[in-house]
Amino acid sequence: MPLTHRFPKEHFLNRELSLLAFNRRVLAQVADSQVPLLERLRFLCIVSSNLDEFFEIRVAGLKEQIKLGGHATGADGLPPQEVFRRVIDQAHRLIAEQYALLNDAILPALEAQGIAFFRRSLWSDTQRAWIREFFLKEVMPVLTPIGLDPSHPFPRVLNKSLNFAVELEGTDAFGRSSGAAIVQAPRALPRVIRLPGELCEFDYGFVFLSSILHEYVGELFAGMNVLGCYQFRVTRNSDLFVDDEEVKNLRIALQGELPQRHFGDAVRLEVADNCSETMTDFLLQQFGLNRGDLYRVPGIVNLVRLMSVPDQVDRPDLKYPPFQPGLPKELAKRYDIFTSIRKHDILMHHPFQSFTPVIQLLQQAADDPQVVAIKMTVYRTGTDSVLMEHLLRAAEKGKEVTVVVELMARFDEEANLSIAARLEEVGAHVVYGVVGYKTHAKMLMVLRREDHGYHRYIHLGTGNYHPRTTRFYTDFGLLTSNPEIGDDVNEVFKQLTGLGKASALKHLWQAPFSLHPAMLGAIRAETEAARAGKPARIIAKMNSLLEPEIITALYEASAAGVTVELIVRGVCSLRPGVKGLSENIRVRSVIGRFLEHHRIFYFHADGKQNIYLSSADWMERNFFRRIEISFPVLEPRLKRRVLREGLKPYLADNSQSWEINGSGDYRIRSTRRSRICAQELLLADMRVGAVNAA
């Protein structure tokens, strides 16, 4: 039955519009003068990166729905044509605000701090001479100008690549005079070039590659007049399609599909605001786009490339202060990882606490002769991951290494294919999960032969096994040797690598089987408690909240008197604070230095205070189309930690917290009380040298 028939559509907010609202909150960090200047520049780039993916996936999907004559697919009931109209309107406004902040606030502030970006009109003679030499030696040799004529049709333009449309006058050596050419900037070229210090009065002087090409593009067309040179960039549909019913070998099917990602249907055209109408219309025609898909920007067309600037500038005073993550109390001194885990469960809170114990678990497992087997899921881990090196070494030493690699992890497919190939070369067992279901669960199991038989050591996490992202994503990780949890994890691995019916698990809730009904059951238990006059409370923290049955259950809980407090970083379809529907529900979104990523679910449970950590958001895909797990925090002292670190500071935050109303509008939360910033409190509490409560 269509979602719009099962649930009243007015009860839900639109997913795409909510995602744009999230990026507006990120953009607010750029406007916040309390954020260090170079970090504001990073946030500006993050918005561009987020919008790239938004167009590549969400807008591309809308266009496909419209083309196929699709009807409303979301619980909000909006037809795709109406969603597209609203999305395009808001996206144009958001991007206009982004460039206004760049040009009117960030660049002038950077210049005041001795960090300047030189426009062509401001180049001095000495700068111009250096830049010309740079062009002739470093840039021109790798350029391939393509004149447009019957034997040179419009080239295939890579997704998100920097290109230049050149208007020309005159004829060339062969008598050709098409009047237009395309110059593609190779991705190997830096988009921002630092000038030698002696050439400018600033500490840091930069020039854009686009400025250099604009200035010297005439060198590519000898004897012809350049009438105009305009940078442009096209964004394409990047969603991969692999037919689950037809595929015989997922790896081979994916390898065949990946090369086409760079040349999917165009969904957006960005051009510099000086681009002539004639050239603009020509480009739109070439890419099959209309005016609504056009974005004229007053500056460079790829702001993501500015992300390299903060790393080139040695100004700690313009960045977040560095910190050294601490360790849980039980790991603060010299320790043996296996002995420590046997004593009791260990909870790690990243990035405030180090990811090193997970790396050490794999390292010791690879070298320990008593370890006989290692099993691990890989969703995102990076191409140069130290974790993979330990797995490779373990396999080379003859241990049974089994890795469930998710090949369909969006934009990490190529890296995961490479990891899979390397593991297979050393004799590891590599499987790709279950066709049709992404393996998103984060699990690591080490099997060790000890005095009384085999013993399992488990790591479960809310985030990826990616050492780099653990430095700026907030996540929880649990190390345990609990035999029953070990049995559950082993059962899930058996499902992923073998065949057979799903068995009941003792502690874990697993998608696509028990997770959704278990979450609904926990919410409804709080509802029944409230109806019986007992205390009832739900606190949930996640990235996204979309699944309509869960939202409806939360509405019913609210009506029964359950206090529902939600911390949803990104997309939220629930309407809070609506009279007669959700008066007891509050929704916050915290945007700050770190990306809020952990999923925490708290249920009062008649005083038992059940807490689950998970890899899954409350979304249909996580409940029904992915392999996910949600695991309980069993030890009371660790429950207290999750409450104290993962929930209470975020509920109290009044500096980086946004509240949403029933119309879907977000307002920064502020009070007259003293300033409370959850992330800063956690940094202070868990840095090296702080005493961390167990």
Q: Where in the chain is the domain with CATH 3.30.870.10?
A: 329-507, 510-686
DSSP assignment, residue 293? Answer: G
Q: Where in the chain is the domain with CATH 1.20.58.310?
A: 1-113
Per-residue pLDDT at 686:
82
Among 566, 562, 555, which residue's Cα sits nearest to residue 657? Answer: 566
Query: Tens digit of pLDDT for each residue in 334-348?
Result: 778 999 999 999 999
Q: What percent of the chain has pLDDT over 90?
A: 73
Higher pLDDT, 418 or 104: 104
| DSSP-derived pairing of the beta strands 371-378 and 443-450 | antiparallel
Query: Tens digit of pLDDT for each residue in 447-477?
Result: 999 988 999 999 999 998 888 889 999 999 9
Query: Tens digit of pLDDT for each residue in 537-567?
Result: 999 999 999 999 999 999 999 999 999 999 9
Per-residue pLDDT at 71:
77
Query: Tens digit of pLDDT for each residue in 261-311?
Result: 455 899 999 999 999 999 999 999 999 999 999 999 999 999 998 999 999
SS3 463: coil
Homologous superfamily assigned to 1-113: Polyphosphate kinase N-terminal domain (1.20.58.310)
Ramachandran region of residue 53, left (φ > 0), alpha (ψ -120 to 50) or beta? alpha
Query: Tens digit of pLDDT for each residue in 13-23?
Result: 999 999 999 99
CATH for 510-686, options being 1.20.140.10, 3.30.200.20, 3.30.870.10, 3.40.50.720: 3.30.870.10
Per-residue pLDDT at 467:
85
Cβ-contact 611, 642 below 8 angstroms:
yes
Rounded Cα distance between 574 and 636, Å, is 31
Rounded Cα distance between 592 and 252, Å, is 41
Homologous superfamily assigned to 141-244+264-306: Polyphosphate kinase middle domain (3.30.1840.10)
Query: Tens digit of pLDDT for each residue in 214-235?
Result: 999 999 988 788 999 999 999 9
Residue 147 confidence class, pLDDT cut points 50, 70, 90: confident
Catalytic, 344? Answer no
Cβ-contact 628, 693 below 8 angstroms:
no
Q: Does domain 329-507 have CATH number 1.20.120.1200?
A: no
Rounded Cα distance between 616 and 463, Å, is 10
Catalytic residue among 11, 349, 440, 597: 440
Cβ-contact 95, 295 below 8 angstroms:
yes
The mean pLDDT of 634-662, rounded to a whole number, is: 96
Report field, pTM of the whole predicted structure over 0.75: yes
Q: Which parts of 201-348 fold into alpha helices (H)?
A: 209-216, 250-257, 277-287, 309-312, 337-343
Phi, psi at 146, each rounded to 5°: -120, 105
Is the pLDDT at 72 greater than 80, yes or no? Answer: no
Rounded Cα distance between 643 and 569, Å, is 18
The mean pLDDT of 520-543, rounded to a whole number, is: 98
Q: Count CB-CB contacts under 10 A for residue 555.
A: 23
Averaged pLDDT of the chain: 90
Among 671, 626, 678, 641, which residue's Cα sits nearest to residue 656? Answer: 678
